[in-house]
Structure 1
């Protein structure tokens, strides 16, 4: 089995484990990002991360924190599998080029930062183009209840406006409000989400947010992340090789910490693009005001600045830092351990076959 396939499968396994553990934080973060709050409003509709987790459990049950988990796990497995397969493939090419350059008297035989940037960008581009439809559905499912709540609020406001102009309607307000309050969010699964996306925008709707996603997920975020990650690993290996023990193996804890630092730097740098992507992929009925609905990336950026201010680009960033850093650290650690385990199993099997041949 090639190293690209092994790393792809290990990345998928690590991604699934990290996703299951950190998914509630991801759900809360997506809702924070997509909540529209005009400048004139004193405070956002949601409080702290913990307060919102409690609110979701009270109103939707524990299952509300795991809304969209099934397609998300599929997306994670596909995304990480595709990403790490292409990443390892291009990484092998970059390392081969570096070794060839060393023979020609150029470089030290290892890829530089620019090479890691290019490798990560190429792998990310393939990943985004192939898996974006899955993440559109996940975002819809995570924000469905929030969207339904906004629609109900808009209906209540419309009733109050009509009642102020019509006495007959005013007298029936209690009954109408009671009917609205008794309505519960419609059942919403993967099929319903897919049909809704198609009805709204056709087949192109499954690639909503592709521009900020490509910029963030295929260029900026992974490039920064893997540049930091590979540079730190190279430094650790170099430091180990210079010691008397000559140990070059990196421990699981060190992988965890290196992955955390790499993801922290990438998340802080690219968070505004992540918010724009989530806004575009969420159901556009969120917020009754047409001025807070977006037709594209540029329209979203302009309207967010105009109606909500620059702080809207950093909504829920603290939640995202905790979720993404912890998830990335777990992913890196589990992936590397799975790759090591595969190497050990392969080595043992080779030895057994060699003995049997003798």
Structure 2
């Protein structure tokens, strides 16, 4: 098995573990990002904290509400991490081979520069985005479905109340019957196939690539993340090599901390793009009115600035930082351990074959 395949499989396994651990935070964060509230709307309508929102979801939807869309998300995580790490390793090997060849020719010291790491991560990230975007569209729909249905139901009640008020029917049997029917309505079962049908019905096959522009731009997120991670890891390993009496290998805890540092920097830099992407991928009825619905990336940016101001681009960022930093730290730590385990097993198998 090549090191690219080993890294791909390790990345997929680590990604699944990190996703399961942090998924409730991810669900709440997506709902925070897609909550469209104009400047004139009272802040009291918003959840005051992540913990409060988690409790609200559990109370209204049960524990299952925190794991809406988990199955396609796990599949997407495995596919994304596998694809990303596979191509990242392929491009990394190529970059290292070029650096080595340049050293032989008298150009450079044989190490891969920071700019090269950015290019490697960007290529791997672009391929990952193009291949897996449909999965994340479905996950976003499933995470925000209950939220969207609640908005639609509120709009229907407001319309009923307005009509009854105009016709002086408030308190009448007709009004009470209509209101009772609306209150009795329960959300229909909503799974992956339902989400896929809804997306296709709304926008055809292109609907599965909604948010692709900000997502492709966000390729710089893992680029920044891996640049910080690889540079920090390389520096730490060099220090360990110089310290003959100390530890020679990087521990799992140190990898965890390096992963946290890398993801923190990348998340803060690219969060506004993540909010725009989530809003484009969510059901547009969640906006409540046409002024808060988006036809594309540019339209979303303009309307968010106009109706919500710059703070709208940073909704739920504190939740995202906790979720993404912890998930990335777990991912890096588990991935490195899985790769180490593979190398140990591969070494033992070679010895057995040589005997």
Instruction: Say whether the fold is shared (TM-score over 0.5).
Output: yes
Superposition map of 1:64-103 within 5 A: 64-103=65-104
Q: CA deviation at 1:185?
A: 1.2
1:348 maps to which residue? 348
Structure 1 stretch displaced more, 197-206 or 153-162: 153-162
Task: Give the Cα–Cα distance (whole angstroms) in 1 for the partners of residues 345 and 122 of structure 2.
Answer: 32
Structure 2, unaligned runs of 5 or more: none
After TM superposition, which residue ranges in structure 1, 4 or more long, deviate above 4 angstroms? Answer: none
Task: Give the Cα–Cα distance (whole angstroms) in 1 for the partners of residues 129 and 180 of structure 2.
Answer: 45
2:186 maps to which residue? 184
1:45 maps to which residue? 46
Task: Give the Cα–Cα distance (whole angstroms) in 2 for the partners of residues 35 and 203 of structure 1.
Answer: 26
2:198 maps to which residue? 196
Q: CA deviation at 1:246?
A: 7.2
2:284 maps to which residue? 284
Structure 1 stretch displaced more, 181-190 or 240-249: 240-249
Task: Give the Cα–Cα distance (whole angstroms) in 1 for the partners of residues 332 and 84 of structure 2.
Answer: 13
Q: 1:285 aligns to what SS in structure 2? A: helix
Task: Give the Cα–Cα distance (whole angstroms) in 1 for the partners of residues 279 and 41 of structure 2.
Answer: 19
- Return the TM-score normalized by structure 2: 0.97
1:143 maps to which residue? 144
Instruction: State the number of aligned residues.
Output: 353
Structure 1 stretch displaced more, 101-110 or 198-207: 101-110
CA RMSD in angstroms, aligned pairs only: 1.1
1:118 maps to which residue? 119
2:301 maps to which residue? 301
Structure 1, unaligned runs of 5 or more: none
User: Contact 2:84–2:124 at 8 Å: present in 1 too?
Assistant: yes
- Return the TM-score normalized by structure 1: 0.97
1:167 maps to which residue? 168
Task: Give the Cα–Cα distance (whole angstroms) in 2 for the partners of residues 17 and 214 of structure 1.
Answer: 25
Once the two structures are superposed, residues 278-316 of structure 1 have per-residue CA deviations (whole angstroms, 9 ceiling, x without a partner) of 000000111221011000000000000101111010000
Superposition map of 1:193-342 within 5 A: 193-216=195-218, 218=219, 220-245=220-245, 247-342=247-342
